[in-house]
């Protein structure tokens, strides 16, 4: 199985949700998966993690954005936050959720 690499380039919670679902499915099937949150997308990792559509998803029996992030980390998905994005969001590495590492695009 080929490795899956996804770049989330905007601060759109639903794009991150979709990326987390795809990466988690890849990992659950035994494949390698990584998400790189670039620049403004890093803001989505600010605590408390939530998305505008979380309530609707939870009502439908689906996980919240925070739960998806936890599940992805638990499945072994590599979660990377752009170092420049951290600076733009005025965040530090210690502000990131469990399992998210600071990285560059390479």
At residue 81, the pLDDT reads 97
Answer yes or no: is pLDDT of 88 > 80: yes
Are 20 and 39 in contact by the 8 Å Cβ rule? The answer is no
Three-state SS sequence of the chain: CCCEEEEECCCCHHHHHHHHHHHHHHHHCCCCEEEEECHHHHHHHCCCCCCCCHHHHHHCCCCCHHHHHHHHHHCCCEEEEEHHHHHHCCCCHHHCCCCEEEECCC
Look up the pTM and report it: 0.94
Q: What is the pLDDT of residues 11-62, one digit of tens each?
A: 999 999 999 999 999 999 999 999 999 999 999 999 999 999 999 999 999 9
Answer yes or no: is pLDDT of 6 > 90: yes
At residue 50, the pLDDT reads 95
């Amino acid at each position: 199985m080929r490795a899956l690499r996804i770049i989330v380039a905007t601060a759109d919670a639903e794009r991150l949700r979709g990326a987390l679902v795809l990466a988690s499915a890849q990992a659950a099937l035994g494949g390698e998966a990584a998400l790189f949150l670039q620049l403004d997308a890093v803001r989505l990792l600010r605590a408390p993690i939530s998305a505008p559509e979380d309530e609707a998803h939870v009502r439908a029996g689906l996980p919240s954005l925070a739960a998806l992030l936890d599940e992805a980390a638990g499945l072994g998905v590599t979660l990377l936050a752009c170092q420049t994005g951290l600076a733009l969001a005025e965040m530090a590495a210690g502000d990131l959720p469990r399992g998210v590492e600071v990285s560059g695009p390479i």
